[in-house]
């Protein structure tokens, strides 16, 4: 079960990553840098949601499998984004 401090820390991290992604979008940096950081933030956010909100942290098989699939998906998206 997720404790209240862990829930707050996860929520705060998700909020900071969302704000950082929005700030990066409007920063004027090159698209390759901005897009890469936004995809990295999306990967971290997805991991937090899977592990903490869906409480998969304590289930090793499902946790590892979903994290691997998520990593492959983000790696594929990043490769396609940088190749374009």
pLDDT confidence of residue 57: 86
Residues 6+ apart with CB under 8 A from 16: none
Please give the span between the terminal C-alpha atoms of the chain, in angstroms, as a whole number. Answer: 43
pTM of the model: 0.88
Q: What residues of the chain score a pLDDT lower than 70? A: none
pLDDT confidence of residue 3: 86
Please report which residue ranges of the chain form alpha helices under DSSP H. 4-25, 31-48, 60-83
Q: Which residues of 21-40 are buried (b: 16+ CB within 10 A; e: fewer)?
A: beebeeeeeeeeebbebbbe
């Amino acid at each position: 079960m997720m404790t209240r401090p862990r829930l707050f820390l996860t929520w705060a991290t998700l909020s900071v990553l969302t704000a950082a992604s929005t700030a990066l979008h409007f920063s004027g940096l090159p698209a390759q840098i901005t897009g890469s950081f936004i995809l990295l933030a999306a990967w971290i956010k997805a991991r937090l949601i899977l592990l903490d909100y869906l409480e998969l942290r304590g289930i090793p098989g499902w946790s590892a499998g979903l994290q691997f699939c998520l990593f492959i998906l983000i790696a594929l998206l990043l490769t396609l984004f940088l190749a374009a």
